[in-house]
């Protein structure tokens, strides 16, 4: 049976797309979004096609944000200003304010403040996963639930 991935958005809904007729529909997945394990369910499309949906786990949920910070790419080179467009427990998508992109696989350090009440500082090492012009997809190098920054991120993304 076909399996399609769906992502939980901010409002607890997921958009699913029929792999046969490509019709999309919005499903309410709030009751699943708090779960930590992978959720699969079956959908019957109006075109009669039956397919299975996998919901992305909560920790991978990407929150659209408008934050600013800096990215340190190499030792001894000044940090580059960045805009952060989305954020998850696993990583973030940034836009560089300077035309000096890193390479895929590079390890960088990002530093930024959340827009919560305390303007919490986050500092994480991350690997460059995707590159599109000035847009860079970063995956955190490590995720440790006891790390102060990971805790703050988890709380922010709840
Ligand atoms: Zn269909």
- Å from CA of 11 to ligand 1 middle: 24
What is the rounded average pLDDT of the residues 102-118?
A: 95
Domain end (from 60, 82, 103): 60
Q: Which of 111, 132, 136, 133 is nearest to 122 (CA)?
A: 111
Domain end (from 60, 86, 105): 60
How, if at all, do strands 39-44 and 24-28 pair? unpaired
- Å from CA of 2 to ligand 1 middle: 12
Dihedral angle of Cα 26, 31, 33, 39, to the nearest 10 degrees: -80
Our count of domains for the chain comes to 2
pLDDT-derived band at 34 (thresholds 50, 70, 90) equals low
- Å from CA of 17 to ligand 1 middle: 8
Predicted local distance difference test score (pLDDT) of residue 10:
63
pLDDT, mean over the chain: 88
Other C-beta atoms within 10 Å of 142: how many?
9
pLDDT in tens, 55-72: 875 556 788 999 999 999
- Å from CA of 98 to ligand 1 middle: 44
Within this chain, do residues 89 and 144 fall inside the same structural domain, yes or no? yes
Could you list the residue range(s) of the whole structural domain that residue 147 is in? 63-157
């Amino acid at each position: 049976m076909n399996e399609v991935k769906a992502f939980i958005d901010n409002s607890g809904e997921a958009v699913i797309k029929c792999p046969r007729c490509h019709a999309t529909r919005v499903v309410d997945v709030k009751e699943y979004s708090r779960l930590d394990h992978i959720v699969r369910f079956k959908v019957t499309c109006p075109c009669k096609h039956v397919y299975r949906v996998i919901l992305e786990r909560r920790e991978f949920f990407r929150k659209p944000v408008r934050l600013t910070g800096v990215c340190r790419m190499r030792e001894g080179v000044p940090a580059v200003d960045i805009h952060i467009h989305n954020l998850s427990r696993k990583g973030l998508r940034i836009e560089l304010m300077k035309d000096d992109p890193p390479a895929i696989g590079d390890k960088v350090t990002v530093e930024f403040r959340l827009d919560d009440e305390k303007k919490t500082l986050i500092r994480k090492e991350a690997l460059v996963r995707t590159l599109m012009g000035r847009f860079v997809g970063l995956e955190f190098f490590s995720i440790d639930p006891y790390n102060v920054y990971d805790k703050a991120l988890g709380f922010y993304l709840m």
